[in-house]
């Protein structure tokens, strides 16, 4: 089992120019790396005999638009774990909100294939070299990326109404006569 500081040191020795930022003070220490190098770094983390990150626990996207504390950006977060040595690591990649793209890691961990499809589906982040980058949860012809903070829900989908209808309580508050009040009716 290796401490976060040791893992960071190994990474810094191996990729001195690609490590952009790191934090050890927070709840779970993380490392921010350059987008173009992420596949290379992940392959190293998995194959290095001293680190052996054999599982990708989670791959998530985050949209920081509208955050009170963080600058506006998209982020892809990799939660790695070594089942052999039982150490953990959080790897982050920061991307611009327009034309976000980074290399895929599906050849390193097979599960990344579906996780990356989900991030593409929800945030519109392109994974270069991905073998099957299609939408996974939304229909293939869905417009826009739902988990972006500035997403606007469409009114219709293929001619069907897609927006939520007003609840009865809302309609009553707006003063609509719903005909259910015995004191007001007739």
Partner 1 sequence: MQVEAYAGEEMVLNMGPQHPSTHGVLRLELETDGEIVRKVIPHIGYLHRCFEKHAENIDYPGVIPFCDRMDYIASMNNSLGYALAVEKLMGLEVNERVKTLRVLMAELNRVASHLLSIGTYAMDIGSFTPFLHCFREREKVLDLFEWLCGARLLYNYNWVGGVSHDIPEGFEAKTREFVTQFEPVIAELDKLLSYNKIFLERTADVGIISEEQALSHNVTGPNLRGSGIGWDLRKEEPYCGYETYDFEVPVGLGEHGPLGSCWDRYYVRVREMEQSLGLIRQALERLPEGDVHEHIPRRVRPAKSEVYDRTETPRGELGYYLVSDGGLIPFRVKVKSPCFTVLSLLPAIAKGGMVADIIAIIGSIDIVMGEIDR
| Distance from C-alpha of 69 to C-alpha of 46, rounded to nearest angstrom | 33
State yes or no: residue 69 binds partner 1 (CB under 8 A).
yes
88-95 vs 30-33, strand pairing mode: parallel
Question: For residues 62 and 108, what is the distance between their CA atoms, to the nearest angstrom?
Answer: 22
Distance of CA 149 to the CA centre of its chain: 12
Binding-site member from 36, 43, 101, 137 for partner 1 (CB under 8 A): 137
Strand 88-95 with 19-23, pairing: unpaired
Site string for partner 1, 139-158 (x = CB under 8 A): x------xx---x-------
Q: Which stretch binds partner 1 (CB under 8 A): 8-16, 32-40, 55-63, 169-177?
A: 55-63
Question: With contact defined as beta carbons under 8 Å apart, do 92 and 74 qualify?
Answer: no
State yes or no: residue 111 binds partner 1 (CB under 8 A). Answer: yes
In the bound state with partner 1, the residue whose beta carbon lies nearer, of 133 and 147, is 147
14 binds partner 1 (CB under 8 A): no
Question: Using the rule CB under 8 A, which residue among 20, 32, 34, 138 binds partner 1?
Answer: 138
Stretch that binds partner 1, among 31-39, 136-144, 167-175, 177-185 (CB under 8 A): 136-144
C-alpha distance from residue 139 to each of 62, 121, 134, 151 (Å)? 21, 9, 10, 16
d(CA 8, CA 99): 29
Residues that bind partner 1 (CB under 8 A): 26-28, 54-58, 60, 62-63, 67-70, 77, 79, 83, 86, 90, 109-111, 113-114, 122, 135-139, 146-147, 151
């Amino acid at each position: 089992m290796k401490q976060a500081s040791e893992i960071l040191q190994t990474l810094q020795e191996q990729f001195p120019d690609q490590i952009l930022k790191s934090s050890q003070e927070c709840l779970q220490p993380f490392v921010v790396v350059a987008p173009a190098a992420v596949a290379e770094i992940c392959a190293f983390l998995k194959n290095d005999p001293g680190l052996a990150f054999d599982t990708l626990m989670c791959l998530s996207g985050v949209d920081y638009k509208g955050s009170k504390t963080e600058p506006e950006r998209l982020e892809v977060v990799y939660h790695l774990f070594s089942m052999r040595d039982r150490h953990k690591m959080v790897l982050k990649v920061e991307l611009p909100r327009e034309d976000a793209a980074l290399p895929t890691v599906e050849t390193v961990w097979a599960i990344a294939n579906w996780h990356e499809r989900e991030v593409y589906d929800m945030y519109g982040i392109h994974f270069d070299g991905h073998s099957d980058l299609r939408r996974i949860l939304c229909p293939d012809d869905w417009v826009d990326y739902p988990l972006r903070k500035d997403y606007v829900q469409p009114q219709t989908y293929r001619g069907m109404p897609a927006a939520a209808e007003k609840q009865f309580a809302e309609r009553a508050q707006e003063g609509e006569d719903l005909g259910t009040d015995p004191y007001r009716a007739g």
